[in-house]
């Protein structure tokens, strides 16, 4: 099942080219996190949606939806540094996620399909990182690897936008608009093995990244288990699983596309509106 949220805070089941509005049927109030987060926080699961008679609910063409990120403000966004060996090589890294652990991105950095990534600095490189996102469906604390996937609700394409400056990852990756996510969440039952997905990412029409999630250093189950050993994962939390080789600078006016097999295609723009020189950032030095 594919679940899409819109800017007016409504939740839709996407069936081919049609979107069925399940917001009222599930009695989902509007809120800043979006209707899917509300649904998951309440303990909602696939069965609750499958039980609906979609034929009796209002529907629209998918193309008519004003899509937002499927979860506009997750409780937390966990990131996975150096989780593909080809990216380790291109960055000249000596270490991997096994040494670094995970990091956090601000939940305020999320945008949805069609929105613009805003570059914060005119004179510091900002890169795209195409990634597979995992959406947690059940609270996970210290879960073993063998049980980890039972806690996953679904998956989506995601971009982990990153400034290449000297600050900690949480700063460089947390600017507003730095976590494009969507176009929808595909539930885990439809995805099957998350270790067999093909990921491609284009910038300005150029194919920059191409990998299989088979190449992950920590695969999805290991990443969920490891993260849950550090922090409790709640329904609606998002884990960005890391990026393969091919990261590179993004420029105003470019389009970024990340496509993952079985999950769909996320496209956003790039803008330099409000960008400043790095030396003009606040704070004494
Ligand atoms: Mn990343």
For residue range 138-171, list pLDDT tens digits in order.
Answer: 999 999 999 999 999 999 999 999 999 999 999 9
Check residue 69 and give its pLDDT: 98
> 174 falls in which pLDDT band (50, 70, 90)?
very high
pTM above 0.85, yes or no: yes
State the total domains in the chain. 2
CATH of the domain at 236: 3.90.850.10
Tell whether 279 is covered by a domain.
no
Residue at 285 is within a domain: no
Let me know whether 140 and 100 are in one domain: yes
Residues 24 and 128 in one domain: no
162-163/264-271 β-pairing? unpaired
Question: How many angstroms does the Cα of residue 48 sit away from the middle of ligand 1?
Answer: 33
Q: Which helix (H) or strand (E) holds 190?
A: helix 188-191
Same domain (yes/no): 92, 190: yes
- Residue-wise pLDDT for 49-83, tens only, equals 999 999 999 999 999 999 999 999 999 999 999 99
C-alpha 53 – ligand 1 centre gap (Å): 39
Distance 164 CA to ligand 1 centre (A): 12
Give the sign of the dihedral formed by CA 229, CA 234, CA 235, CA 240. Answer: negative
What is the reported pLDDT for 5? 97
Centre of ligand 1 to C-alpha 68, Å, is 21
Model confidence at 225: pLDDT above 90: yes
In a domain, 70, yes or no: no
Ligand 1 centroid to 160 CA: how many Å? 5
- How far is residue 275 from each of residues 50, 56, 95, 171, measured CA to CA in Å? 45, 48, 32, 16
The residue with tokens 């597979």 is: 132
Rounded distance from Cα 224 to ligand 1 centre (Å): 16
Q: How far is the CA of 83 from the centre of ligand 1 (A)?
A: 8
Q: What is the pLDDT of residue 159?
A: 98
Q: Has residue 88 got a pLDDT over 90?
A: no
Domain encompassing residue 47: 2-64
CA of 271 to the centre of ligand 1 (A): 20
Alpha carbon distance 196, 216 (integer Å): 10
Q: Does the pLDDT of residue 281 top 90, yes or no?
A: yes
Residues 46, 7, single domain; the answer is yes
Mean pLDDT of all residues in the chain? Answer: 96
How much distance in Å is there from the Cα of 78 to the middle of ligand 1? 10
pLDDT at 29: 85
In the predicted model, is pLDDT for residue 112 greater than 90? yes
Cα(17) to centroid of ligand 1, in Å?
31
Query: What share of the chain in percent tops pLDDT 70?
Result: 100
Residue 31 confidence (pLDDT): 81
Residue 280 C-alpha to ligand 1 middle, in angstroms?
26
Q: Compute the distance from residue 177 Cα to the ligand 1 centre, in Å.
A: 14
Domain co-membership, 59 together with 120: no
């Amino acid at each position: 099942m594919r679940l899409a949220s819109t800017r007016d805070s409504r939740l839709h089941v996407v069936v081919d080219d049609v979107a069925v509005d399940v917001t009222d049927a599930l009695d989902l109030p509007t809120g800043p996190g979006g209707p899917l987060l509300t649904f998951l926080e309440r303990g909602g699961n696939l069965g609750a949606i499958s039980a609906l008679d979609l034929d009796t609910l209002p529907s629209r063409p998918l193309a008519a939806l004003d899509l937002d990120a499927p979860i506009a403000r997750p409780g937390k966004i966990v990131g996975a540094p150096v989780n593909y060996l080809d990216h380790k090589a291109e960055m000249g890294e000596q270490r991997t996620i096994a040494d670094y652990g995970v990091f956090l991105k601000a939940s305020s950095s999320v945008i949805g399909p069609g929105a613009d990534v805003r570059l914060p600095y005119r004179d510091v490189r900002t890169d795209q990182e195409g990634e597979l996102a995992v959406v947690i469906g059940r609270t996970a604390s210290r879960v073993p690897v063998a049980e980890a996937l039972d806690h996953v609700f679904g998956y989506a394409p995601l971009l982990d936008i990153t400034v290449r400056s000297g600050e900690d990852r949480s700063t460089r990756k947390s600017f507003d608009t730095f976590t494009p996510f969507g176009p929808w969440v595909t539930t885990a039952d439809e995805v099957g093995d998350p270790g067999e997905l093909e990921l491609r990412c284009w910038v300005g029409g150029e194919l920059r990244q191409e990998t299989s999630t088979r190449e992950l250093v920590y695969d999805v189950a290991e990443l969920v288990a490891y993260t849950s050993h550090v922090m409790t994962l709640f329904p609606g939390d998002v884990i960005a699983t890391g990026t393969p080789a091919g990261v590179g600078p993004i420029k105003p006016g470019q389009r970024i596309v990340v496509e993952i097999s079985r999950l769909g295609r996320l496209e956003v723009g790039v803008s330099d509106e409000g960008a400043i020189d790095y030396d003009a950032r606040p704070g004494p030095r």
